């Protein structure tokens, strides 16, 4: 295949594409005091920790209580709304926009926003694996939301479900650009989920030093086995625990079968009713993130490698079987 072959990508075009993806986002976020009663809340947590489960049931409970709620999935996996819609895939804003653009059509709200149980919900989506930056996809998704009239919509709550493992600009948008009034963390009693929660606290702390206003309103402990590490973390960084969702087999089965438990008809109704009240009343706080040693100190040392000493490697270690010294090519001159 020669360089003249049309199947070979143009290097100049490819370079321009990379530069475009690396460019600063063009999304303009209104500054100044909020002009409506709407609470925009960004929920962060480690992938798989139960954000989607928590949000689907929280949003359903809020709607059941008479609130107008918009749930926006901001995870490229697009699984935020799956529980709300009984496992059905929700067309994402990114894929719908691409398809409509190719057809020369404009995206309409009915193409991307759907309703169930009084909750309005949509997924931003993201690029296919290896075909783009997920963070840029998030930014592009919010640009489309603005064109659809996002800032003119009338909701009591807008809940944004963000993946906390990823630290690039798109996923940090609500914190970096003051898009949300407050952040809620979802974690469990395990080191990895608390590590992610701590990173989000660190991001909030960092952007506040740059003049940001977003704070952390609290922690939701999911799959709580009462071992206490998540409660200890919340106390250490000085944020409240908004709810503890137990590690219960009934919850696990209902979640796996796409059943909503955030309703007064469920035995778990009081739990999610309490969470809805706590989320509504919670105030943004300014946590101080823990350092690595402080985070590890929340756990029993036998679980986190206590006593491990860092042993420096040597050049001989690195060379292995090739560690025999070789004659130097350095020229050494006799002293005069």
pLDDT tens sequence across 197-244:
999 998 888 887 777 788 899 999 999 999 999 999 999 999 999 999
265 classed as catalytic? no
Section 170-179 average pLDDT:
64
DSSP codes, 226-266? S--HHHHHHHHHT--EEEEEE--HHHHHHHHTT----STTS
Asked if residue 69 belongs to a domain, the reply is: yes
Contact 132, 22 (CB under 8 A): no
Is pLDDT above 70 for 2?
Answer: no
For the stretch 243-269, pLDDT in tens is 999 999 999 999 999 999 999 999 999
Task: Using alpha carbons, list the distances in angstroms from residue 316 to 27, 178, 288, 309, 312.
Answer: 53, 52, 43, 20, 12
Q: Which range (6-10, 58-62, 193-197, 268-272) has the least confidence?
A: 6-10
The span from the CA of 72 to the CA of 56, in Å, is 10
Asked if residue 7 belongs to a domain, the reply is: no
* pLDDT value, residue 34: 40
232-236 own/partner pairs: CB under 8 Å, 24+ apart: 232/298, 233/187, 233/194, 233/197, 233/198, 233/290, 233/295, 233/298, 236/290, 236/294, 236/298
Which pLDDT band, with edges at 50, 70 and 90, does 73 fall under?
Answer: confident
| Percent of the residues in the chain that have a pLDDT greater than 70, as a whole number | 77
pTM, to two decimals:
0.77
For the stretch 5-55, pLDDT in tens is 444 444 455 445 444 544 444 434 334 444 447 898 989 888 889 888 999
For residue 280, the surrounding DSSP H or E stretch is helix 269-281
* pLDDT value, residue 27: 39
Asked if residue 313 belongs to a domain, the reply is: no
Asked if residue 335 belongs to a domain, the reply is: no
The span from the CA of 267 to the CA of 265, in Å, is 7
* pLDDT value, residue 126: 58
3-state secondary structure of 218: strand
Asked if residue 336 belongs to a domain, the reply is: no
The span from the CA of 202 to the CA of 206, in Å, is 6
37 classed as catalytic? no
Which pLDDT band, with edges at 50, 70 and 90, does 181 fall under?
Answer: confident
Q: How many residues does the chain have?
A: 336
The span from the CA of 206 to the CA of 264, in Å, is 40
Give me the catalytic one of 51, 182, 223, 254.
51
Average pLDDT over the chain, rounded to whole?
81
The span from the CA of 255 to the CA of 265, in Å, is 16
Q: Which range (8-17, 64-73, 119-128) has the least confidence?
A: 8-17
Contact 54, 164 (CB under 8 A): no
Give me the catalytic one of 75, 79, 161, 165.
165
- Read off φ and ψ for residue 272, nearest 5 degrees: -80, -25
3-state secondary structure of 220: strand
Is pLDDT above 80 for 184?
Answer: yes
The span from the CA of 90 to the CA of 155, in Å, is 21
* pLDDT value, residue 220: 97
Domain hosting residue 213, numbered range: 38-297
Considering 61-70, 95-104, 212-221, 303-312, the range whose residues carry the highest mean pLDDT is 61-70
12 classed as catalytic? no
Q: Which range (79-93, 127-141, 234-248, 254-268) has the least confidence?
A: 127-141
Asked if residue 15 belongs to a domain, the reply is: no
67 classed as catalytic? no
3-state secondary structure of 54: helix
Asked if residue 203 belongs to a domain, the reply is: yes
Q: Tell me how many domains the chain contains.
A: 1
Asked if residue 81 belongs to a domain, the reply is: yes
Q: What is the DSSP letter of 72?
A: E
Q: What angle do CA 60, 65, 66 make, to 5 degrees?
A: 100
Contact 251, 229 (CB under 8 A): no
Give me the catalytic one of 46, 182, 223, 254.
46
CATH (domain of 265): 3.40.50.300
User: Other CB atoms closer than 10 Å to residue 30's CB: what's the count?
Assistant: 12
Give me the catalytic one of 77, 100, 111, 156.
77
């Amino acid at each position: 295949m020669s360089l003249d072959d049309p199947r070979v990508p143009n290097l100049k075009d490819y370079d321009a594409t990379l530069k475009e993806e690396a460019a600063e986002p063009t999304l303009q976020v209104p500054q100044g005091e909020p002009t409506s009663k709407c609470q925009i809340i960004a929920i962060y947590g480690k992938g798989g920790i139960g954000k989607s489960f928590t949000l689907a049931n929280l949003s359903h409970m809020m709607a059941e209580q008479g609130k107008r709620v918009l749930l926006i999935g901001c995870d490229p996996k697009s699984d935020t709304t799956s529980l709300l819609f009984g496992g059905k895939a929700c067309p994402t804003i990114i894929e719908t926009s691409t398809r409509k653009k190719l057809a020369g059509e404009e995206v309409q709200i009915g193409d991307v926003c759907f309703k169930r149980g009084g909750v309005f919900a949509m997924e931003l989506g993201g690029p296919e694996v290896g075909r783009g930056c997920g963070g840029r996809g998030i930014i592009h998704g919010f640009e489309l939301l603005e064109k659809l009239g996002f800032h003119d919509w009338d909701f009591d709550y807008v809940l944004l479900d963000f993946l906390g493992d990823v630290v690039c600009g798109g996923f940090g948008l609500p914190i970096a650009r003051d898009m949300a009034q407050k952040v809620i963390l979802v974690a469990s009693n395990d080191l990895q989920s608390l590590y992610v929660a701590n990173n989000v606290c660190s991001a909030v702390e960092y952007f506040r030093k740059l003049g940001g206003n977003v704070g952390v309103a609290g922690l939701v402990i999911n799959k709580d086995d009462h071992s206490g590490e998540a409660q200890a973390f919340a106390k250490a960084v000085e944020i409240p625990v908004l709810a503890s969702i137990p590690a219960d087999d009934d919850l696990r089965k209902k979640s796996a079968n796409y059943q909503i438990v955030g309703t007064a008809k469920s035995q778990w109704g009081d739990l999610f009713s309490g969470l809805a009240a706590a989320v509504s009343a919670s105030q943004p706080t300014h946590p101080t993130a823990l350092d690595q040693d402080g985070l590890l100190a929340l756990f029993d040392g036998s679980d986190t490698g206590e006593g491990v000493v860092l042993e420096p490697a040597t050049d001989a270690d690195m060379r292995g079987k090739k560690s025999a010294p070789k004659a130097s090519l350095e020229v050494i001159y006799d002293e005069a």
